[in-house]
A = this chain, B = another copy of it.
């Protein structure tokens, strides 16, 4: 199937996708985030093929999103935990949840709710501007070329923006 590599594109979306772009990774991240940390648990919770799970975990560890940590020496056992980099990726998950709740949840309502530590309220995430604090949706911005624009990663094909 020789999947196209995204990592060379001068685009943060493409580069993010390169890390968690294939379908299982976000779900693995979600599971680790809620405390499903071990191979066997992940496999049975997700119903993912063991082979693919191994590949994904290895990749996510290589990318510094997860850390493989031993919790027992004898027998050798490990669990996967989020790094800081991985924890920040979970913000992406909360935004996915927001969209999924709005557009795919249907009658039954959202499958999970979030209670914000700071205020104790059931709430959802809202994107705001880091400069002025007002709502900042994709339709509220102009896109301009930045310093890293047009600098492909390793001099290969001129794709992306």
Measuring CB to CB, which residues of chain A are less than 8 angstroms from any residue of chain B? 1, 3-4, 6, 10-19, 21-23, 26-27, 30-31, 33-34, 45-48, 85, 87-106, 108-119, 121-151, 157, 159-161
Contact B111 A149 (CB under 8 A): yes
Contact B27 A109 (CB under 8 A): no
Q: Using Cβ atoms and an 8 Å threshold, which residues of chain B touch A85?
A: 103
Number of copies: 2
Q: Using Cβ atoms and an 8 Å threshold, which residues of chain B touch A124?
A: 130
Question: Is chain A's binding surface mostly helix, strand, loop or mixed?
Answer: mixed
Q: Using Cβ atoms and an 8 Å threshold, which residues of chain B touch A122?
A: 131, 144
A124 vs B96: C-alpha distance when bound (angstroms): 18
Contact A127 B130 (CB under 8 A): no
Q: Would you give the shortest CB distance from A152 to chain B, in whole angstroms?
A: 10
Chain B CB within 10 Å — which of A89, A95, A138 has the most? Answer: A138
**Beyond A13-B27, A116-B129, 12 additional pairs, beta carbon < 8 A:** A19-B104, A22-B23, A27-B160, A46-B159, A85-B103, A88-B102, A94-B127, A94-B136, A105-B148, A108-B151, A113-B146, A115-B141
